[in-house]
Each structure stands twice: as C-alpha cells, then as structure tokens.
Amino acid sequence: MNVIQGHFDQAGTLRQRNRKLAAGAPIEQQATARVISVTSGKGGVGKTSVAANVAVELSRSGQRVLVIDADLGLANIDVLCGLTPRHNLNHYFAGEKSLVDIIAPGPAGISILPAGSGLQHLTHLDAGQKMRFLEDLDSLHGRFDMVLIDTEAGISENVTYFNMAAQEILVVTTPEPTAITDAYALMKLMSTRYHQKHFSLVVNQAHEMDDGLDVYQKLTIVSNRYLDISIDYLGCIPASDRMLEAVRRQKPMVELFPGQKTSSAFRTLADTLAHRNAPEPKGTVQFFWKRFFTLSQGGES
C-alpha cells in the first residue's frame, strides 16, 4: 500500500469511528504502543538526555522504540544522537512528507521523529494540524512498543497538548529550587486545567542519592496540600561530568560510558518503565477523537 492510499484508508477508518461514537456503538480495541511524554517545567534539567538514554536502553532490552522530538522550536534530540536527518516535522506539516518518510534510524536501533530547530512557526500549530498529527501517529502504533515524546520545557500550549496525548507523563526535574518550583507548576496546570491526576517523577543531576527522595517528598507534601494528584517516584539520575562529554561527542551516555553510575541509573529507569503496569490507553486517536467529538457537541467547556 502506498502512502497516499494509506492516508485515504485511514481517513475512512476515522469517519467510521466518528459514526460509531455518534451512535454509541463500541469501537474495537487495537494493540497500541505505550506512549510516555518526557516533560519538564524548566529548561536545562536534562530532559532530552533522559529521553535519549532511556530510549537506547529500552531498545537494548528488546523494545521497539520511537522517540518523537516535540520540542518544535528548539529541537535537539537528533543532535544528541549525532544525526543529521534530511527531513523533519517541518516537511510533514508542510504536507511534503509523511511521518514514515521522516523517521530516522538512531543509536541501538531506536527510531527518531526529528522536529528540526529554529522553526518558530511550528510552535503555533492549529487544531487541524494537531488532529492530523495524532491521526497519523496512531497509524504508527503497530510498529512500536514504546513511544517517548520529548516535549519542550515549560507550560506552553504545545507542552500541554503532547502531555495530554500521552498515556503517562514523566516529569524530569533537578534538585535546584527553581526546577522543583517549575515542575510543581507544570503538574498543577496539567491537574487543574486538564484533569491529569497521575504523574511519574525522575530527579536528574542528583549529587547525592538522597537528593531524589528529598525532591519527591517536597513535591508530595505541597501537592497533597493543594492538588488532587499522585506522584510516582521512579528514581534519580546521578550527576556526572561524563554526561557533558557525551553531549559534546553527540553520543548517548549509556553507549559511551556504560559502566558509569549514571548509565546504570538510566538502565534501571528503562527497566522500571518497561515492566510497570501501563495506564489505560489515552495517547491515541481513539482517545483524542472521543474528546474532540465531545467538544464539538458542546459536552465540555
């Protein structure tokens, strides 16, 4: 089947889903990938490094992994992996390439959906572009076991959009007070405005093992007081000068320095993500299509 035919078939399938939803009929479940957003309230916490290294370790364990670079203005996961892809999401949103066309092979067998950097217009996608992206992303789920969405930092509309599209939200922060405050702000926004109640937490750049637990306890205390959310602590990643060297050499830390404690922590995190019970699927078109249908009928403000 060629790409054009595939798009037409997919559009027909979506129309059938819409009709079933309107009639209240059940929609058959399809096997889908685990979709995890890797996000942060603040830049500079090493979110992209976490996504890249965890992806490599997941792939090494036998998972088929896709990393989506959703930092649409300042994309750099391809740079961290030493890639120079010919095409990126700019070509996709311009209608020049399909998602399959722009997927680039990465280290250890991972696949990367590159965004391209310096493309300011991609930070302001309209509703139609976002819908089309989720529809086409849904068609890739059978190819992968795990999809990691590396969002941009902060609380912009694109950040909340990609977090909403994921089954699981993995918040990356550091022991720095500003990073902790911004991580809380992100979870507060996702909770109060978008009704997200479950978050996972990783503390990066920890100088002591107790740093991670300390950050987790601080966030738990304040969230228990002011928010109705649960935070699942997945561990901490030790700070290492080797990480800076890996970034300079454009290689994942786990490939260059597999014996370092930091690399071991990435392996532990990947193993935790691979073997924990997955939440109910919501990071697919089926979820978004239902939500879109409800909104269009005036069922939600």
Q: Is 248 exposed, middle or buried (0-12, 13-18, 19+ CB in 10 A)?
A: exposed
pTM higher than 0.85, yes or no? Answer: no
Q: Which residues contact 208 (CB under 8 A, 6 or more apart)?
A: none
Q: 54 is written with which tokens? A: 């965890």
H helices within the chain, ranges in order? 3-23, 47-60, 77-80, 89-93, 99-102, 127-138, 157-165, 177-192, 209-226, 241-248, 253-256, 261-275, 285-296
300, pLDDT greater than 80: no
22, pLDDT greater than 60: no
Average pLDDT over residues 276-301: 50
Look at the block and give the residue holding tokens 């490599």: 56
Other C-beta atoms closer than 10 Å to the C-beta of 65 total 27
Report the amino acid identity of residue 60: R
Among 12-26, 191-205, 236-250, the minimum mean pLDDT is found in 12-26
Task: Give the residue extent of every domain in the chain.
Answer: 33-288
Q: Buried b vs exposed e over 113-122: b needs ≥16 C-beta within 10 Å?
A: bbbbbebeeb
Q: Which residue has the higher pLDDT, 114 or 299?
A: 114
Binned at pLDDT 50, 70 and 90, residue 21 comes out as very low
**Tens-place pLDDT, residues 126-156:** 778 878 888 888 888 789 999 999 998 998 8
Segment (H or E) for 105: strand 104-105
207, pLDDT greater than 50: yes
**Tens-place pLDDT, residues 263-282:** 999 999 999 999 988 766 55
CATH 2.40.50.200 fits 33-288, yes or no: no
CA distance 50 to 46: 6
